[in-house]
Amino acid sequence: MRSHYANLVCAMLVSATLLPGVVVAGPFEDATATLDSGDAATAFRLFQQIADQGDALAQIKIGAMYAEGQGVGQDYTEAAKWFRRAAEQNNPRAQFNLGTMYQHGQGVTQNYVEAAKWYHLSAEQGYPFAQYNIGVLHAEGNGAAQSNDEAAKWYRLAAEQGHPGAQFSLALSYAKGLGVPQSDAEAARWARMAADQGHVIAQYNLGIMHANGRGVSQSDVEAAKWYRLAAERGYVLAQSSLGLHYANGSGIPRDAIQALMWLTLAAERGDSKAVIERDAVARAMSAADIFEAKKLAKEWKPK
């Protein structure tokens, strides 16, 4: 599971925004409007004035602008400084952002223990991104005691708030019985939630579950549907699986051109098994059909 965890660690920095439906006139809103108009340099100066007065939301915004190089030169050290100021005011977004800086060594010396500390502070206030990340650290034993129970606990809290990465990680926990009782049905349920939000690895895994009838009813049609969604986003293993479904007519009409196209895409992106399957499919095709499949592969772009 480590590779999945590594790929899914949320490395984003969360900027400060007002809650939906809240309209309040004031300096922060004026600065936000200026930024929205495209004048990032002026907006930065306006946010700076507010941040200097101790406003946590403005401090987060200044930190994010330094991190992104928006309206000011990119400077992770300054970003971390401003996130820390807001984090020390117990702002969960800032605590999460500071944890992210420590986890990735941006603007501060990389330190998983410090990352875990700030994620915990944020997570305990219900911030789903932090709940997910502290779950990952517990799963891997980086900066926090290795504990599948703790990992699953935090994944669930974030998953119940709709975090797709947490939903998929909880699905993996159920699939392997890590921190929760093994349950294919629960694994499929949580994977479906993540897949419905566009989580590409969840879409691919849900395809596997349908293909094998694991936790869900066996259905080649459903398997092909989920493989396609992930394949169209560029997920290599899904491209290979979809190609095989076209080659065998499993859940979709047999189509050698589509099979070769998807297998070619997967092979070109490093799937060694797809190379073998691609060549096997091509041997039974005409030169004209091979030309068409390669043309489609060359023109393909991820959605």
DSSP class of residue 55 equals -
Tell whether the model's pLDDT for residue 79 goes beyond 60: yes
pLDDT digits 0-9 by tens, 80-105:
999 999 999 999 999 999 999 999 99
pLDDT digits 0-9 by tens, 24-44:
458 999 999 999 999 999 999
**Are the C-beta atoms of residues 66 and 82 closer than 8 Å to each other?**
yes
Name the residue among 13, 11, 130 with its Cα closest to residue 63.
Answer: 13
What span, in angstroms and rounded, lies between the C-alpha atoms of 118 and 164? 22
What span, in angstroms and rounded, lies between the C-alpha atoms of 29 and 23? 9
Report the percentage of the chain scoring pLDDT > 90. Answer: 91
Length of the chain (residues): 303
Set out the domains of the chain in order of their start, with CATH numbers.
1-8+31-146 (1.25.40.10), 220-303 (no CATH)
The H-or-E segment that residue 214 falls in is none
Tokens of 153: 């606990």
- Torsion of the alpha carbons at 235, 137, 147 and 155, rounded to the nearest 10: -60
Q: How large is the average pLDDT for residues 13-20? A: 52
What span, in angstroms and rounded, lies between the C-alpha atoms of 160 and 170? 10
Helix (H, G, I), strand (E, B) or coil at 258: helix
User: Over the chain, what is the mean pLDDT?
Assistant: 93
pLDDT digits 0-9 by tens, 192-208:
999 999 999 999 999 99
Q: How confident is the model at residue 16 (pLDDT cuts 50, 70, 90)?
A: low
Q: How confident is the model at residue 291 (pLDDT cuts 50, 70, 90)?
A: very high
How confident is the model at residue 277, as a pLDDT?
97
